[in-house]
């Protein structure tokens, strides 16, 4: 296991992936037809809307989108900084050929 050992307030712990040689790559969601990296929820909402997704406002802690022609629901954390690769892959699976998850360059 790689990482950096951190000593803080008398406690020594390993932070995995904190070293420069780590295999942890940051991921980005890309809209394939425009080759645009999704940098905010407003950009994502525009792309999803054009594909027939409608916004749900039921849960104040989540951004949710539903497509009437399917049973699919996309649920995302309200804070874009908490938008992780698992959310990106959920979008990719539900919108084949429209989005890709790529390693950040």
85: which 2 tokens?
């690769």
DSSP calls for 76-88: EESSGGG--HHHH
Radius of gyration (Cα) for the chain, nearest Å?
A: 17
What is the layout of strands, in order, in the sheet containing 53-56? 53-56, 62-67, 73-77
17: which 2 tokens?
């992936």
Over residues 26-73, the pLDDT tens digits come to 899 999 999 999 999 999 999 999 999 999 998 889 999 999 988 999
Tell whether pTM > 0.85: no
């Amino acid at each position: 296991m790689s990482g950096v050992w951190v000593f803080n307030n008398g406690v020594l712990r390993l932070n995995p992936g904190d070293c420069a040689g780590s295999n942890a790559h940051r991921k980005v969601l890309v809209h394939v037809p425009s080759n645009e990296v999704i940098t905010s929820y407003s950009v994502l909402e525009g792309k999803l809307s054009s594909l027939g997704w409608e916004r749900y406002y039921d849960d104040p802690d989540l951004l949710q989108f539903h497509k009437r022609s399917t049973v699919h629901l996309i649920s995302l954390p309200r804070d874009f900084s908490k938008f992780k690769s698992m959310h990106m892959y959920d979008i990719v699976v539900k919108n084949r050929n429209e989005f890709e998850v790529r390693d950040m360059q």
